[in-house]
Structure 1
Amino acid sequence: MEVTNAPNNWPKPPAAIPANMLADPPVGAKVVVAGLVLVRQRPGTAKGVIFLTLEDETGTCNVVVWRKIYEQYRRAVIAGRLLRVAGRMQREAGVTHIVAEHIEDVSYMLDDLLRTEPARAADQP
């Protein structure tokens, strides 16, 4: 897959690109997305492929997880509430996907949101 020439004005890894900027990187570009897991789909006809829908504050993005990647990051794919996914841009028939290469469960960050403000301040060095 060849990366096409396009303006280089999107957040580059390791920074996560917001969903509303996914039209900017060219097909094949390496990107990182992060978001809450809205949907996990594993259609019987997809030969082990899993489709994830992640949501951030700007919108949603679709992630394709091939069987080999799923086996490597199974726990994160199954149990993660908040995921960080590194992969490559893919566009087909007007639909944008991230083809996952690395998946990280960062759900622990959600627990921080539940803490009270004084508790956060006490944790600061």
Structure 2
Amino acid sequence: MTSSDRSGRGFIAPLFGVAAAILLTATIARAQNLDEGKPPQKLFADGCASCHRSPRGLAKGRFSFTLYWFLKDHYASSADSAKALAAYLESVDSPPAGKPRAAAKSSKPAGAPRSSLRPPAPVPQR
């Protein structure tokens, strides 16, 4: 063995390299979330309006958690923006408090006969 091996200098150089790598990676800037703090209407306008004309009907009665999970996995940049967007889509889908949704209006006038699968008169017996 040489005198330099006995002094421990061969061990210090790799240790210094590891310490430098740790310091350099610890100071790397954290990625920025550009959607942070945006209202859900703006999130929809920025990310969804290019394909969907309106937010109405997109929640389609889905459970809140499944809608959130879908948005988080596929469209939102963070869990917070997915949560806000899911809440917005659900609020647009649900009717306002105190106002029930209007029933589907028929294209026929109120006095017009209704069509049914049964014949209008009983079938004679043979």
| TM-score w.r.t. length of structure 1 | 0.23
Bigger fraction of residues in helix: 2
Bigger fraction of residues in strand: 1
| TM-score w.r.t. length of structure 2 | 0.23
